[in-house]
Amino acid sequence: MAEPLAHFGGRTGSRLVTVSDDPAVLDSGGWWAVVVDFEGSATFARFGHVESGPMPDAAWPGVDPSTWTSSMSRPEYEAAVALVRDRIAEGFVYQANICRMLRAPMPDAVEDLTGLASLLATRQRAPYTGLVRLPDQGVHVASASPELFLRLDGRRLTSSPIKGTGRTPADLLEKDSAENVMIVDLVRNDLGRVCRTGSVSVPHLLALEEHPGLVHLVSTVSGELRTDAAWRDVFEAAFPPGSVSGAPKHSALQVIDALETAPRGPYCGAVGWVDADRQRAELAVGIRTFFVDAADGRPQLCFGTGAGITWGSEPAREWDETQLKAERLLAVAAIRHQGGANATERSTT
C-alpha cells in the first residue's frame, strides 16, 4: 500500500502526523491537506515533511470510456432543469447548480489516483491541480480545479467564483454574466460574515479566463479576516461554495437535495492546503475532480459535472454544458500512462 501524501501548489507533504475532522486543528500549527465533501464531511491531514517538487508520478492503466455511467440521463437532467425554473418562477430560488455524478470501475491494477493526478498535471495544467492520498481513511482525490474557493494570506481572505462556461468567448451569453454577478453578491455576503466590516470588495468582475478546451467568467471577492475569526467560522460562513450551490444558498441547497440523485462527495466541496504556521491557505472548489468511492465494496472512480440554472436556462443547453465540462477530463482519465518518462497512449480496452 502506498504511503500517505498530498501535493498542492508545487509542494508535496509526506510523513503523516495526524488526521482529524475538526476544523479547529487548522488554527493549531503545521501543514494540512484539506478535503471537505459537499455534504460537509471533512478530512484534515497534517504532514510532518513538506518539500517543493513536481507532482508525484505513477502508472495509470486508463479507464475504458464505455464504462462510465451517469446518475442522471439526459431526459432526467433536462427535467430537473425545468423543475428549477419552476422554483424560480415561484420565487423560492434565483439560481441553483444541478449536478450529476459519473462513475466507472477503478482500474484493477491501481490502488490510488497518483498516476491520474500526474496526467492531469501535465495534460490539464489547471491552477489548482492537487492530489490527496490517505489509504487508511479511504480518501483518494485527484483534482484539476480551475476555481479558487478560498485563499488566505495573513488576514486577507479571497474567493474567485466561476460562473459562465463556453468553448469560446462567443459562447458566453448575457445569462452567464447575470449569473456570475448574482453569485458575486452571495460570496460578498459569505465573506462579510467573517471579515472586518467595510473591508469586502470586488477587485475583478467578469474577467475572462481561458482553460484547456473552454473559457470561464471569473470574478474576485476579497476582504480582511477578523482577528477573532477561526477556520470553523470561515467554513460556517462560506461553505459550501456559492458558485456550486446557488442563491439564496439555503433555498438552493433544498432544491439540490430534492433533485439530485447521488451525493457529490469531494466534488463541489473544498480541496487544498492550509499552512497554519504561516497563516496561508489555498482551497479550490472541488470541480474537475476525480475521487474514489469504495462504499459498496468495489472501488469506483467518480467525477461530477453540473451547470448553474437560472430563469434564462434552456434545458438542452445546460445538459450540453455538463458534457463540455466532463469530456476533456474523461479523455485524460482514458489515457494509459506507464509512469516516469515512459510514453502514454489512449486506452482502447
Q: Any idea which residues carry the catalytic annotation?
A: 147, 163
Q: Which amino acid is at 263?
A: P
CA angle at residue 103 from 101 to 105, to 5 degrees? 170
Question: According to DSSP H, which parts of the chain are helical?
Answer: 74-89, 114-123, 174-192, 231-238, 249-259, 315-333
Task: Give one DSSP letter per residue of 131-160, joined into a string.
Answer: EEEEGGGTEEEEEEE--EEEEEETTEEEEE
For residue 91, is it left (φ>0), alpha (ψ between -120 and 50) or beta? Answer: left
94-121 burial string, b = 16+ CB within 10 Å, else e?
Answer: bbbbbbbbbbbebbeebbbbbbbbbbbb
Q: What is the Cα–Cα distance from 286 to 146, expressed in whole angstroms?
A: 9
Peptide bond into 248 cis (omega under 30): yes
The CA distances from residue 195 to 25, 29, 161, 162, in Å, are 20, 22, 17, 21
